[in-house]
């Protein structure tokens, strides 16, 4: 049976009978597979896709910060004040909007004063969460905010609730954002920064249900209320306070936090990884069984977001509070002969499909989801970039983020999709996944993912409320589902021009290749 799937920024529905809500049209594009029918409601756009949905996460973990971003001012690798030029240039290429730091689990053991002042005088610590290696503290507050300025992105700082104090976090906010006279601003000026930074986004702890203190939701809600009370707005900098949210399907956590602390929060976080931790299989050596299982798990983020949003709606019907999915992505086994605590993994075409479908889902929930941060930016988990000394490569996931730039701050256009299923064994998932938007210049952008690794899909797309006169696009795919980029062969998976979309009387037809991500521009 074919399933009708209706997506909008308000809801995502799956109906049992195909065609129940999609009217058959005599002007349906010729040659289209009647199993795959898409309606784009070009006249019903209302909500904006916040560019911060395309945000990133960088933790003091493995080689993300050191060797990934930071090489030091004396390095032979080209750098600006110790920060790698090639990595910065690559991330500017995807218009990185926001970067979350310093963790992750590391955040709730990080004491920010250890990372300021002359680097030669900073006291090293042991990174107990990630490999028990020495953390030099050479990359601290000034270096991170310098990185964000070089990237042209907003910083998102996660404070220490698990092992820190209210005073410590309050003083961090003051040190960074106050332009007045105080001991903290004097310390900042002593360390070389005269004017304050603008830092809006502050997370009050990380995973406080786990590595951030193993707290009960009632206890954390009280802790959040306490911390939020003392995080002040200084010198015109208005804080956007983000409470630690649930681990995946822990809906009780969301209910308690919204009930007890909603009035003091601007955002509530959510974490979901679609891998199976360190026992998961290789990122590049897998069969169709693994391909299917990974995408099936990735699709559950839709169910997850829908359910958490439903709880938030009960307490916040006007949707003032944002859902911040500040850790998400694939989690595979580490690469052979690497430190298991460093979470260094390769990145294949399968990961590109995970990224594409997840970003489509976030787009379609943009009324509530206003920031997301993929884990992690460089050399860790589902990274954009991998480095090896002076070498750097871009991953398939990077290319999806680059292709999807067109959705940044665009108006979401509701879509209705009826499509064939992709079946493996007794299980089925939709073969297609979509989102659409209209940019400020009036162009419509459609992102399509074909999750089926074996069969192309022809889609009849009806454009309601508009008419297409021109269509162009790009595609990311490869013959092999395990295809990935290496330092020896860095261009194996990269976008190419796409000519599989044709204008029809009431829209267009699109021939979507197997295992591909396609982004179209319709004018």
Buried b (16+ CB within 10 A) or exposed e, 209-239: bebbbebebeebbebbbebbeebeebeebeb
Residues 6+ apart with CB under 8 A from 289: 424
Q: What is d(CA 513, CA 229) in angstroms, rounded to the nearest whole number? A: 53
Query: Which is nearest to 38 in space by CA: 444, 453, 396?
Result: 444
Phi, psi (rounded to 5 degrees) for 57: -135, 130
Q: How many CB atoms lie within 10 A of CB 67?
A: 18
Structural element, H or E, at residue 416: strand 415-419
Residues in Cβ contact with 342 at an 8 Å cutoff, skipping those fewer than 6 apart: 61, 62, 63, 130, 131, 334, 379, 380
- DSSP code, position 136: -
Query: 518 pairs with which residues across the strands?
Result: 448, 475
327 annotated active-site: yes
Is 462 annotated in the active site? no
Q: What three-state secondary structure class fits 393?
A: strand
Q: What are phi and psi of 151, to 5 degrees?
A: -75, -20
Given the residues 174, 207, 402, 462, the one annotated as active site: 207
Among 67, 109, 260, 327, the one annotated catalytic: 327
List the one residue out of 316, 324, 519, 512 whose CA is nearest residue 436: 519
Q: Where are the alpha helices (DSSP H) in 266-365?
A: 288-315, 349-364
Residue with tokens 């839709």: 302
With a CB cutoff of 8 Å and minimum separation 6, the contacts of 463 are: 40, 42, 444, 506, 507, 508, 522
Residues acting as catalytic residues: 207, 327
């Amino acid at each position: 049976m074919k399933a009708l799937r209706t997506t909008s920024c308000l809801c995502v529905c799956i109906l049992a009978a195909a065609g129940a809500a999609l009217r058959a049209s005599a002007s349906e594009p010729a040659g289209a597979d009647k199993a795959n029918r898409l309606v784009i409601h070009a006249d019903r756009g209302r909500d904006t896709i916040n560019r911060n949905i395309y945000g990133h996460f960088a933790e003091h973990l493995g080689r993300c910060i050191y060797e990934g971003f930071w090489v030091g001012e004396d390095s032979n690798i080209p750098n600006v004040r110790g920060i790698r030029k090639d990595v910065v240039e690559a991330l500017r290429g995807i218009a990185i909007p926001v970067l979350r730091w310093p963790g992750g689990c590391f955040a709730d053991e990080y004491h920010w004063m250890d990372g300021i002042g002359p680097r030669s005088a900073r006291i090293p610590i042991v990174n107990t969460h990630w490999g028990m290696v020495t953390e030099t503290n050479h990359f601290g507050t000034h270096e991170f905010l310098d990185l964000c300025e070089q990237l042209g992105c907003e910083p998102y700082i996660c404070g220490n609730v698990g092992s820190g104090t209210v005073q410590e976090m309050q003083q961090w906010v003051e040190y960074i954002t106050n332009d007045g006279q105080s001991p903290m601003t004097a310390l900042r000026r002593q360390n070389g920064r005269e004017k304050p930074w603008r830092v809006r986004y502050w997370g009050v702890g990380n995973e406080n249900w786990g590595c951030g203190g193993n707290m009960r939701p009632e206890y954390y809600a009280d802790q959040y209320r306490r911390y939020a009370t003392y995080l002040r707005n200084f010198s015109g900098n208005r804080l956007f306070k983000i409470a630690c949210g649930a681990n995946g399907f822990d809906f009780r956590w969301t209910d308690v936090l919204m009930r007890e602390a909603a009035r003091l929060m601007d955002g509530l976080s959510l974490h979901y990884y679609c891998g199976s931790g360190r026992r998961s299989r290789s990122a590049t050596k897998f069969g169709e069984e693994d391909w299917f299982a990974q995408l099936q798990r990735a699709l559950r983020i839709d169910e997850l977001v829908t359910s958490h949003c439903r709880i938030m709606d009960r307490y916040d019907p006007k949707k003032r509070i944002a859902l911040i999915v500040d850790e998400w992505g694939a989690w595979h086994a580490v690469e052979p002969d690497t430190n298991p605590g460093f979470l260094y993994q390769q990145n294949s075409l399968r990961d590109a499909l995970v990224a594409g479908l997840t970003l489509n889902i976030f787009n379609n929930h943009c009324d509530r989801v206003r920031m997301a941060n993929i884990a992690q930016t460089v050399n860790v988990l589902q990274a954009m970039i991998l480095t090896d000394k002076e070498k750097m490569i871009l991953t398939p996931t990077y290319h999806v983020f680059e292709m999807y730039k067109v959705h940044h701050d665009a108006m979401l256009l509701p879509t209705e999709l009826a499509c064939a299923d992709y079946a493996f064994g007794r299980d089925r998932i939709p073969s297609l996944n979509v989102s659409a938007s209209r940019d400020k210049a009036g162009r419509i952008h459609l992102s399509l993912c074909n999750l089926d690794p074996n069969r192309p899909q022809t889609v009849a797309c009806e454009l309601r409320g508009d008419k297409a006169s021109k269509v162009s696009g790009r595609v990311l795919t490869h013959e092999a589902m395990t295809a990935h980029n290496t330092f020896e062969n860095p261009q194996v998976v990269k976008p190419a021009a796409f000519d599989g979309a044709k204008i029809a009387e009431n829209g267009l037809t699109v021939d979507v290749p197997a295992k591909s991500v396609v982004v179209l521009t319709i004018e």
